[in-house]
Amino acid sequence: MATQSSVQNRTQDNGVEPTRMGVNYGPVVDIVEEPTELVILADMPGTAPDKIDIRFEDRSLIIHAHVDPRQEASATHYVLHEYGVGDFHRVFQVNEDVDHRRIRAEYRDGVLAVHLPKAESVLPRKIEVQTGN
């Protein structure tokens, strides 16, 4: 199964989702192909599992995570301010090689792992050889 044809990024090149208000970042991801599934690993520090919304609709996998500000910006005197805080948002187009009914996700140590099981029809299967009797 070719990973590139199974999951495609639909976020603009600059990582900004134009339909959401406020600051939104496209999380950095790796997509790993395993024998029976694809796994999307997304770095999303500063969020919590109950603030992550993952949806599958119209062959699109939509990942959105809310990140609360670390401190009140108007009451904070920054000496150096490099770390931007905003929500994470990313959209992937998924083809029919993925069994969307069995998609699952887990979040640990700032990394979201979304498991996309391959459809039964694309998994390799062993063909038994029958005797000619």
Instruction: Tell me the domain boundaries of the chain.
Output: 3-12+21-68+81-118
Matching residue, tokens 């520090």 = 45
The residues pairing with 40 across neighbouring beta strands, listed in sequence order, are 31, 114
Q: Give start and end residues of each alpha helix (H) in 3-119.
A: 3-6
Say if residues 85 and 66 touch (Cβ distance below 8 Å).
Answer: no
Query: Whole-model pTM?
Result: 0.76
CATH number of 3-12+21-68+81-118: 2.60.40.790
* pLDDT per position as a tens digit, 33-86: 999 999 999 999 999 999 999 999 999 999 999 998 877 777 888 888 777 788
